[in-house]
A and B are shown apart, each in its own frame.
Chain A
């Protein structure tokens, strides 16, 4: 069925409706303004992008997702718009979905000169995406409930320790960084072991909550002793005066390490404003941007050497902790399978 044919009569009605369509500004060279889909917290990203608009001399059209949908709204929209893309740049606050989009052929290569000092492992070899400014998957601990550091949990294995029965939480691995984390764990540990881990977690009355924000809230309010969350959620709770600290899990010899999940940016294939979009990507990947994101309340961890880390010394930068090794391409490939598997597990 041709959508064009079906939609053609729209002209009749639409011409009589208020024509409040978007403006089509251009830069000095006559290039149209780019559209960006952003998953990073709007409070930080909007101001940055407004400044980039001034630098580029065009009004960047910003589309932000509902956090309830994680990055799903953006990814779905980019897929839906594949035949006639409206968006030029995808700034994801994690990496799994960006890799998935690249693997689906919805991104196009762009090697930004601004990314030359980002470590190679955080760049797609074909230039489909570039990662920057990360968050770590940490344990947030309520220090009123656990005042002695010796009592703090130190590993993902603590989730199944009877000592913590009914006192800890993890978000359901259905979206966002938790899905990426547990998909990576399936690759690192094996799918069967992760399934067994979930069985044991259920036996240990681990609370499976809706999001990392929810796990953080349960801990900051003292309902639970500790939980998995991301460093940005922990840092904001800490700044707001709640009695919380964070633990980078699995730092011992032979342990798997702490997972680092960076932001990522990609150029959308056949977007309407590729030239200005590339300049925008250069600005997003600039050292100055990563520096500002590290200094912001979300305490994003810089991936490059020489950029000062977040002010909170508890948020560690690469090299200061044992990182979990994970295969980015494999995670992008397995995301759909893992998502369906976990959804069944949680009756969704």
Chain B
């Protein structure tokens, strides 16, 4: 094999990953955007003009901003407080509670909302902010904990000795501020993009609407729409929203990138809580109870028969619920697990070469890679459908569009940023000197990648794969839009609960949650790795 062929082969993973991003992220979004300017009559701004005539637009924007700020404050108190107490303080059971800071992420926010609604939660602004704040607090918890672990204990001690405790704590806060702000921005971003929880609360009588709800409502009207403006309305409404979210995402990435590489540091000293040691447990317990405990309790009660009055809750009823779940939900549950596993594998394969490219040569690509986080999943799904539904290439490939392969690509496009961005951050922390030395070794590129580049990235790769697996398992919006993903468990559950099948839905919900928890725990169970590796 000549040098050019060898060179091309060694670059194949990167080229394919870039092609994937072009085909499943950039192309669909570009087509969707351009489509808003071209009606059958030619170029027009009419769809955009219609948007700015909408008197509800500003009301919805204001509601979203208020909700985003309130929910992020709650995320900061719960997530930041959790990290602070478990990493910096001698909290009882801190070692166990610390890694659990990520646990509420396993729970789809809509489950949290349904759980609280069973306990009579109100429909107002603050219940909505509370639910979303709890659901997104893991971003703040995980990133704050990461910042605290990376902070230099010696510098902190020195600041204390020289300038007193208050100033030392302030200096520490400044040190971790990039991670803290990044966590808050992610929580803010996800709150703005969530239409499910605010919409669910209209079930309880909520009367105000967020921007994301407005976009979703336009999608529903699109179905009966007849004019070009009707059909483009949801896309047009969503695009400025995406631009704003992408801007926030860019800011988040900048903050993360500016977080100093602190190398190997002396851990921060653990400060005693004194008399407040046991009362301080209340915060992590409230956080975990709200984010995980209540929804699990509600699902368990459903299984036992709480959602009917014909007979009392009982183990016998639970057996019936399990039997119904096997009959109704098991095939879709299996589909969900296999799809999530395949998505996690594909995302990791794509993310590794992209992460190296971003970290070493082409930093601006990171913004493109972050785009799918800023886009509401339903919009990405519609963009993918628009681009590929008529594709003759797809038809020629045994109708790839209708099969699991297309669902896999759609999910991978959606979740690629969750692996590529953290892996890029890890690559940045790797020593350039060792890579340069490796490049002098007369081995193939593949051999160098496997022996030198990959091993230091394995823990982060595992964490990213786990995160993607969990997110893919709970994804609803793409499941509704992409044909094959229709047969997944979360989509089935959304319907089952509506039709009063809470009993077997509870079983499938608990199975999904168990799977989402067990897969990340496997290395710990099999090889005794510490749980903190998850966060």
Best-buried of A16, A65, A69 by chain B (most CB within 10 Å): A69
Q: Are A336 and B224 in contact, with the CB atoms below 8 A?
A: yes
Flag whether B213 is at the interface (Cβ < 8 A): yes
Is the beta-carbon distance between A11 and B397 smaller than 8 angstroms?
Answer: yes
The residues in A between 189 and 237 inclusive whose CB is less than 8 angstroms from any CB of B are 207-211, 213-214, 217, 233, 236-237
Question: How far does the alpha carbon of A240 sit from the alpha carbon of B202 in the complex, in Å?
Answer: 24
B499 partner, pick from A77, A236, A346, beta carbons under 8 A? A236
Task: Evaluate contact between B31 and A3: CB separation under 8 angstroms.
Answer: yes
Interchain CA distance A42-B329 in the complex, whole Å: 11
Contacts of A242 in B (CB 8 A): 308-309
Sort A-B residue pairs by CB-CB distance and give the 8 closest, nearest first. Answer: A21-B403, A241-B310, A241-B309, A240-B308, A20-B404, A214-B203, A75-B223, A348-B217
* A interface residues (Cβ-Cβ under 8 A, vs B): 1, 3-4, 6-22, 24, 35, 41-43, 61, 63-73, 75-77, 79-81, 83-84, 86, 96-97, 100, 104, 172, 174-175, 207-211, 213-214, 217, 233, 236-237, 239-243, 298, 335-336, 339-340, 343-344, 346-348
Residues of chain B within 8 A of A86, CB atoms compared: 389, 399, 401-402, 483
- Nearest B residue to A18 via CB reads B405
Q: How far is the CB of A181 from chain B (nearest CB, A)?
A: 15
Given contacts A21-B404, A68-B498, A347-B60, contact A13 B23 (CB under 8 A): yes
Residues in A neighbouring B408, C-beta threshold 8 A: 17-18, 20
Contact B224 A335 (CB under 8 A): yes
Nearest chain-B residue to A85 (Cβ)? B389
Q: Please list 12 pairs of residues, one from A and one from B, whose beta carbons are closer than 8 Å in the complex, sorted by A's number.
A: A6-B31, A10-B393, A21-B399, A64-B491, A73-B480, A80-B389, A83-B389, A86-B389, A97-B224, A214-B204, A241-B310, A347-B59
Proximity string of chain B (319-346) to chain A, C-beta cutoff 8 Å, 1 when within and 0 when not: 0000000001000000000000010001
Cβ 8 A contact of B222, one of A10, A16, A76: A76
Closest to B220 in A: A72
Q: Assess whether B391 is in contact with A7, with CB atoms less than 8 Å apart.
A: yes
With A12-B19, A347-B60 already in contact, 10 other A-B pairs whose C-beta atoms are closer than 8 Å:
A9-B22, A10-B23, A17-B409, A18-B405, A41-B495, A67-B494, A76-B222, A79-B223, A80-B382, A241-B310
- Using known A-B contacts A9-B19, A104-B226, A240-B500, determine if residue A14 contacts B400 with beta carbons closer than 8 Å: yes
Q: Which residues of B contact A16 (CB under 8 A)?
A: 16
Q: Considering the complex, which residues of chain B in the window 183-239 have a beta carbon less than 8 Å from any beta carbon of chain A? A: 196, 199-200, 202-205, 207-209, 213-214, 217, 219-226, 230-231
Q: Which of B390, B481, B492 contacts A73 (CB 8 A)?
A: B481
A338 to B476, CA, bound (A): 29
B405 touches A19 (CB 8 A): yes
Q: Which of B56, B226, B496 contacts A43 (CB 8 A)?
A: B496
Asked whether B203 lies within 8 Å of A210 as measured between CB atoms, the reply is yes
Contact call A67/B495, Cβ cutoff below 8 A: yes
Asked whether, in the complex, the Cβ of B221 is within 8 Å of the Cβ of A336, the reply is yes
Quick check: B495 and A66 within 8 Å, CB to CB? yes
Asked if B399 contacts A22 (CB within 8 A), the reply is yes
In contact, B391 and A4 (Cβ under 8 angstroms) = yes
- Given A13-B23, A240-B310, the answer on whether A347 and B401 have CB atoms closer than 8 Å is no
| Of A1, A7, A86, A237, most B-chain CB atoms within 10 Å | A7
Given A9-B19, A213-B498, verify A1-B34 contact (CB < 8 Å).
yes
Which residues of chain B from 362 to 412 have any CB-CB distance to chain A below 8 Å in the complex? 382, 385-395, 397-406, 408-409
Tell me which of A66, A83, A209 contacts B494 (CB under 8 A).
A66
Write the chain B residue with the least CB distance to A2.
Answer: B390
Check A339–B221 contact: CB distance below 8 A. Answer: yes
Question: Which residues 456-490 in B have Cβ within 8 Å of A in the complex?
Answer: 476, 479-481, 483-484, 486
Report the bound CA distance from A86 to B219 in whole Å: 21
Complex Cα gap A339–B55 (Å): 16
Q: Does the CB pair A239–B310 fall under 8 Å? A: yes
- Minimum CB–CB distance for B67 against chain A, Å: 15
Distance from A165 Cβ to chain B, minimum over Cβ atoms (Å): 15
Which residues on A sit within 8 Å (CB–CB) of B498? 67-68, 211, 213
The B26-65 residues at the A interface (CB cut-off 8 A) are 27, 31, 34, 38, 55-56, 59-60
> Of A22, A64, A83, which contacts B484 at CB under 8 A?
A22
Task: Assess the A236–B500 pair: CB atoms within 8 A.
Answer: yes
Contact of B66 with A by CB under 8 A? no
Instruction: Answer yes or no: B307 CB below 8 A from chain A CBs.
Output: yes
The distance in angstroms between the C-alpha atoms of A210 and B56, with both chains bound, is: 18
Q: How far is the CA of A319 from the CA of B95 in the complex (A)?
A: 70
Minimal Cβ-Cβ distance residue in B for A214: B203
CB of B401, distance to nearest CB on chain A (Å): 7
Q: Which residues of B contact A4 (CB under 8 A)?
A: 390-393
Q: With an 8 A cutoff between CB atoms, is B501 at the interface?
A: yes
Contacts of B392 in A (CB 8 A): 4
A204 → B minimal CB distance (Å): 14
- Chain A residues whose C-beta falls within 8 Å of the C-beta of B125 in the assembled complex: none
> Are B56 and A17 in touch, CB under 8 angstroms?
no
**B160 within 8 Å of A (CB atoms):** no
Decide yes or no whether B311 CB sits under 8 A from chain A.
yes
Q: Is the CB of A348 within 8 A of B209?
A: yes
B390 x A19 contact (CB < 8 A): no
Contacts of A213 in B (CB 8 A): 203, 498-500
Contacts of B27 on A, CB cut-off 8 Å?
6-7
B472 CB → nearest A CB, Å: 15
Smallest beta-carbon distance A286→chain B, Å: 24
Residue of chain A at shortest CB distance from B492: A42
Complex Cα–Cα for A75 and B226 (A): 12
**A4 CA to B220 CA in the complex, in Å?**
28
Q: Does chain A have a CB within 8 A of B116?
A: no
Q: B84: CB under 8 A from chain A?
A: no
* Residues in B neighbouring A35, C-beta threshold 8 A: 402
Interface: B130 (CB within 8 A): no
Does B250 sit within 8 A of A, measured CB to CB? no
**Chain A positions within 8 Å of B19 at CB level:** 9, 12-13
Residue numbers in B under 8 Å from A66 (CB-CB)? 476, 479-480, 491, 494-495
Query: Which residues from B are CB-within-8-Å of A96?
Result: 224
In the complex, A73→B390 CA distance in Å?
18
User: Once the chains bind, are B217 and A343 in contact (CB under 8 Å)?
Assistant: yes
Residues 66-91 of chain B: 1 if any A CB is under 8 Å from the residue's CB, otherwise 0? 00000000000000000000000000
Q: When the two chains form the complex, which single residue of B208, B224, B397 contacts A75, counting CB atoms closer than 8 Å?
A: B224
Contact B480 A10 (CB under 8 A): no
Q: List the B side residues contacting A217 at CB < 8 Å.
A: 203
Q: How far is the CA of A298 from the CA of B390 in the complex (A)?
A: 37
Q: Which residues of A contact B387 (CB under 8 A)?
A: 3, 6-7
> How long is the Cα–Cα vector from A12 to B19 in the complex, in angstroms?
9
CB pair A19 B496 closer than 8 Å: no
Please give the distance in Å from B290's CB to the nearest CB on chain A: 22
Q: Which residues of A contact B397 (CB under 8 A)?
A: 11, 14-15, 19, 21
Whether B230 and A336, one on each chain, are in contact in the complex, defined by CB atoms closer than 8 angstroms, is: yes
The interface residues of chain A lying within 8 Å CB-to-CB of B499 are: 41, 43, 67, 213, 236, 298
Chain A residue with the shortest CB-CB distance to B328: A43
A residues in contact with B500, CB < 8 Å:
213, 233, 236-237, 240
B318 CB to closest chain A CB (Å) equals 16
Question: Residues 12-26 of chain B: 1 if any A CB is under 8 Å from the residue's CB, otherwise 0?
Answer: 000010011011000
For the complex formed, measure the closest distance between the CB of B131 and the CB atoms of chain A, giving whole angstroms: 15
Q: Please indicate the chain B residues that have their CB under 8 angstroms from the CB of A13 in the complex.
A: 16, 19-20, 23
Interface centre among A63, A207, A239, A347 (most CB of B within 10 A): A347
Closest to A87 in B: B483
* Cβ–Cβ contact A7 & B230, under 8 A: no
How far apart are the CA atoms of A158 and B277 in the complex, in Å? 58
> Once the chains are docked, how many angstroms separate the CA of A6 from the CA of B209?
37
Complex Cα–Cα for A18 and B341 (A)? 13
Residues in B whose Cβ lies below 8 Å from that of A21: 397-400, 402-406
Q: In whole angstroms, what is the CA distance A208 to B205 when docked?
A: 7
- Cα-based distance from A241 to B386 in the complex (angstroms): 46
